[in-house]
Amino acid sequence: MKKREYNCGLDAAVDVVGGKWKALILWALHAAPRRFGDLHRNVQGISEKMLIQQLREMESYGLVHREVYHQVPPKVEYSLTEFGVSLNTALIPLGEWGERHRATIEAIPRD
Amino acid sequence: MKKREYNCGLDAAVDVVGGKWKALILWALHAAPRRFGDLHRNVQGISEKMLIQQLREMESYGLVHREVYHQVPPKVEYSLTEFGVSLNTALIPLGEWGERHRATIEAIPRD
DNA sequence: TCAGGTACTTACCTTAATCTCAGTATCGGA
DNA sequence: TCCGATACTGAGATTAAGGTAAGTACCTGA
C-alpha cells in the first residue's frame, strides 16, 4: 500500500487487496484457520518469503490474526479477523466473475 | 496480466483488474462513455501515457470499447462493453467495502 | 550428540510497473 | 503561415514487486 488518500472506495480497496498474492491468501483462509505450512501448500506457487511478507502486511492491516502456539516444532495459525471476513465477503462476486469468465480470461493473448 | 492458468476465479479476476489504475478507469466509465481528455481529468493523478496504456490493455481484454470520431481536433470515446459492465458490477461490493472502511484503511501506518 | 520438523529470516538479484517529459499528427480558422 | 485543440507515442529513468537460495532457532526423541 502506497497511498494515504483515495478518490473512491474502490481505489482504497484495490490498494489493500492488490498484488499477486493477497486475495489468494485471504481466500485460502476463508474456511478455517490455517498453519503456515498448510497455507504454503495451499497457495500454489508462493515462496515462503512472499507468504510471510504478505501475511505480516495483512496482519498489520488488521485483516489477519496470527496465533502462536509455543511448541516445538513451532505451530502458528493464521485466521481472518472480522475485518478480513468482511473483505473476503466483498470479494465473492469478483471471484464468481473470474470463475464464470475464466476461459475467456485465459484465452486473452499476452506477450 | 501474466498468467494463463489460475487456481481460482479470484486469482483470474485480480490478474485482470490488478494494478494501480484499471479498477479506477473501469469505475470512471460506469455511468457513461467518456472521451480521453475527460477520463484524464476524472482519474486523478494518472499520466496520459498510463491512461492510454491501460485503456488499450482493457480494450484488448474486451472490457472497453474505443470509438473514434474522425474529426479535427480528434475525438475518441471509451465505453464499457457488456463484459466490462459485468466486471464493474462484480466490483461494486469491493468498492462499497472500501468506502465503508476508508478511514480505517487510510489510518494504516505504512513506511 | 545429532537429525528432524516447523516457521521463519536475510541478502541479493531480476523483472515488472509506473513516472517524467518531450515530441507527433491533424485540420480549421485567425 | 501559424496556432490551438485533442489524442496520442516514445525514450529513458526510477521504483516497486517478486523471486532464489541459503541460513537460523527451537526442542524432542533416537
The total number of structural domains in chain B stands at: 1
| Cα pseudo-dihedral B13, B46, B30, A88, rounded to 10 | 40
What pLDDT does A3 receive? 64
Q: Residue B59: closest CA among chain A residues belongs to which residue?
A: A108
Q: In this structure, is residue B4 part of a structural domain?
A: no
* Residue-level pLDDT at B1: 74
Residue B16 lies in a domain: yes
Distance, in Å, from the CA atom of A2 to the CA atom of A12, rounded to the nearest integer, reads 10
pLDDT at A102 over 90: yes
Cα A14-B80-B53 angle, rounded to 5 deg: 65
Give domain status of residue A73, yes or no: yes
Residue B20 lies inside a defined structural domain of this protein = yes
- Which one is predicted more confidently, A66 or A1? A66
CATH number for the domain spanning A53: value is 1.10.10.10
Q: How far apart are CA A24 and CA B7, in angstroms?
A: 9
Q: Is the CB of B3 under 7 A from strand C?
A: no
Is residue B50 situated within a structural domain?
yes
The per-residue pLDDT for range A89-101, each reduced to its tens digit, is 999 999 999 999 9
CB of B49 nearer than 7 A to strand C: yes
* pLDDT score of A91: 96
Q: Does A60 sit within 8 Å of B12, measured CB to CB?
A: no
For residue A69, the distance in angstroms to the closest alpha carbon of chain B comes to 27
3-state SS class at B79: strand
Cell of B25: 478507469
The closest CB to that of A105, out of B8, B12, B18, belongs to: B12
Q: What is the pLDDT of residue B3?
A: 64
CA distances from B4 to A106, B100, B111 (A): 5, 34, 33
CB atoms within 10 A of CB A100: 15
In the predicted model, residues of chain B with pLDDT beneath 50 are none
Mutation test of the interface with chain B: which of A2, A8, A39, A82, choosing the one with the most B Cβ atoms within 10 A?
A: A8
d(CA A52, CA A47): 9
What pLDDT is stored for residue A38 in this prediction? 96
**What pLDDT does residue A29 have?**
97
Whether residue A23 and residue B10 make contact (CB cut-off 8 A), yes or no, is yes
Does residue A2 sit within a domain? Answer: no
* B20 strand C contact, CB < 7 Å: yes
pLDDT digits (tens, 9 = 90+) for A19-77: 999 999 999 999 999 999 999 999 999 999 999 999 999 999 999 999 999 998 999 99
Domain membership of residue B1 (yes or no) is no
Residue B2 falls inside a structural domain: no
Query: Domain range for residue A48?
Result: 9-107
